[in-house]
Each structure stands twice: as structure tokens, then as C-alpha cells.
Structure 1
């Protein structure tokens, strides 16, 4: 009986649905020179240029845009300023796969390559 209960618990825990979205930092996608075409520039979208201060930019990767709680990504007056950028799961993986492949072929910038691989793993396992 205990074995049966244990097996049922394992089966139920493996059926847990994955999240519809994951929120990452802009820097998880490499430097701005690599990511700006996909994510926009590394400063607040409402500013015309960057500054010495690092802007708080988050990338929301979603699988189904219709089920995104968009009001969750709006700032309240009591929270720090955050610029949320939404991209699809497919777009994120295409960007990462392309840049991982390009960086792997050149053997340059190994730290950026590792960061992109880590980001891809985070997205795929969420």
C-alpha cells in the first residue's frame, strides 16, 4: 500500500504544468550589442539614451500571450521602476540558438557563450 501511494505521488508530481512565463534580466541575453535587435536597447524605452546608472530591465518570456497576467507587469507607485519587455518563447530560443552557434564557431567571448547557454537552460527547464 505504501509503495502504491509513493508511486501515485511521483506520478502526480511529474504532471505539474510548467509556467507560462519566466522573467529574466536583460543581461541574461548577453551584452546590448548582441541583443538590442531582439530586446531593444539596454536603457528604459521611454528614454532617448542610456545613462551611467544601470536601468532595471526585465525580459518576460511567454509561451501563451493570451494567458499572461499583463497587469502583473505594470509598476505601482510603491515599487521601483522596471521596464518589462515581452518576447515569445520561440523568439527567445531562436535568438539564443543563433548566438550560441555563432559564438561556438568563433571560440571568442567564452563567458558570453556560457551565459547564453545558462539562459537557454533556464528557459527550457522552467
Structure 2
């Protein structure tokens, strides 16, 4: 059985994770959305995104460009965004507010896990 201090540490880690992971995801999404820019390297146009000071020139090594490409590659069509965004936002709000709905199932008969289905009428001859 875990001690009280282990439970407190576990609770602290869960509370930190509860807020840190959504903030990390939103920061990452904002970074790849708002800081997109272009580099031309050896005649190849490379479009990527990361925070940088606007109006100043900066360059990347080949390894840096490869890492930036791997970290900022996200493919989503408009249908995914339209359907997933409201679900994600509502889930995130519930998670942050700590009010996830709890469902409770009540079985009217003790020890019975499933009742039989109601009778059905077949209208088509097989």
C-alpha cells in the first residue's frame, strides 16, 4: 500500500501534468501557426515555422532544418478541424475545470449484468 507521501507526490505530478500538457500543446500549435516563414537553400524552398524576431535575417544548418521539419509537420484537412476542434475545446475546458461528467449505471436486479433484448418482429420473409 502506498504511503501518504507517495500519494501526495503522485497527486502533485498529476496536477502538474493536467495543466502542463494542454499548455504545451497549445503553445506548439500557436508556434506552427503564427510563425511560418520561408528559407531558400540551394534553390530549394523550405517553409517551416518557429518563433523568431520579425525583420531579422536568420539561417539554419541542414540538421536544424531537418529537425524543424520533423517537429512542425502536421497534416489536417478542413473536415478534421471543423469536427475535432469543438470536441477538443470542450474536452480541454472540462479537463481544466475538473468537472468531467460521471456516469453511474444502476442494475435493477442484483447479480444480473445483462437482460435479454425485447421481442422483435421480422417483416421480410427470408
TM range (shorter): under 0.3
- What TM-score do you get using the length of structure 2 for normalisation? 0.26
**TM-score with structure 1 length normalisation?**
0.26
